Amino acid sequence: MSTYGTMQNRIADEIDRTDLSSQAALAIISAIKHYASSELWFKENRFTTDTVPDTEYYALPSDMIDIKSIRLSDGATDDDWVPIQRTHEYMDEHYTNPNNYTGYPRDYSVYDQMLRFGPVPDRTFTIALSMTQELSELSATADSNGWMTHGEETIRARAKWDLYTNIIKDFGEADRMKAVEIEAFQRLEARSEKYTSTGKTRGRL
């Protein structure tokens, strides 16, 4: 397992510069932000919560980037169902008096980091949500997350590309690091695709 500090030290060794520690640390964070919206197996997680009767809106996890799937169940039967994702405008148009129209939620929208259901739940339902999440932010040198382990090569190469491009001004090395970055990220995508296509359980932090 790699850490934030380990990657900083390795970058210093590979670019043969010990005077760019603060810039290297920032370049790593910038590289992670660049790939924040990517859909990879180690960024997946699940979230469950219950609805409250006559309550239309529900807070989503603050680290959620994207909803992959959502299912509802009433706990009374083995059946569950997938509500249809709608736009916020659609919900405004079709559920103008939400408190007068309650029942099994068949539609939902996402707005302002909130789930909105229509009809408004008339009882307790379980919400099971699969999502892509933003990984924990790195600060201390001992900190680690999935990017420091599974995505280490991608982030390290992009951080070095950043340094060569914006600090060192060695554009030949920058081009070389860009090629390494692209190839490393393609391997991450292929690994995620393999987990999906083979039916294996996709890992999560």
- Strand 120-121 vs strand 102-103: parallel, antiparallel, or unpaired? parallel
Please work out, in degrees rounded to the nearest 5, the angle formed at the alpha carbon of residue 142 by the alpha carbons of 140 and 147.
Answer: 95
- Which pair of tokens denotes residue 16? 């043969």
**Cα-atom radius of gyration of the chain, to the nearest Å?**
22
* pLDDT > 80? residue 169: yes
For the chain, give the mean pLDDT. Answer: 91
What are the structural domain ranges in the chain? 4-36+137-197, 44-132
* Helices marked H in the chain: 4-15, 21-34, 88-94, 146-149, 152-163, 171-197
Q: Within its chain, how far is the Cα of 12 from the centroid?
A: 29
pLDDT of residue 80: 86
pLDDT of residue 205: 28
Write the pLDDT tens digit of every residue in 97-111.
766 789 999 999 999
pLDDT of residue 197: 62
